[in-house]
Amino acid sequence: MTVDPRAALDRLIAALEAHYNAVAARHGEDDPAVDDAYDVLADAFEVYDDALGTVHGEATPFYLAEEDDDEDRDDEDAEDEGEDWVAEGEDELDDDYDDGDLADEPTGLTSR
Total domains in the fold of the chain: 1
Q: What percent of the chain stands above pLDDT 70?
A: 59
Residue 18 lies in a domain: yes
**Domain limits for position 48:** 5-67+82-104
Q: What is the pLDDT of residue 66?
A: 82
- Tell me if 56 is assigned to some domain: yes
Give per-residue pLDDT as tens, 72-109: 444 445 455 555 666 555 554 444 444 444 444 344 44
Question: Does residue 112 belong to any structural domain of this protein?
Answer: no
105: left (phi over 0), alpha (psi -120 to 50) or beta: beta
For the four alpha carbons of 6, 4, 52 and 83, in that order, the dihedral sign comes to positive
What is the pTM for the complete model shown? 0.60
Half-sphere exposure of 47 (CA within 13 A, CB side): 20
> Distance (Å, rounded) from C-alpha 71 to C-alpha 17?
33
Instruction: Please say whether the beta carbons of 41 and 22 come within 8 A.
Output: no
42 part of a folded domain? yes
In a domain, 74, yes or no: no
Q: Average pLDDT, whole number, for the chain?
A: 76
Domain-embedded: residue 109:
no
Residue 54: which pLDDT band, with cuts at 50, 70 and 90? very high
Answer yes or no: is 75 within a domain.
no
> Percent of the chain, pLDDT > 90?
53
- Considering the domain boundaries, does residue 43 fall inside one? yes
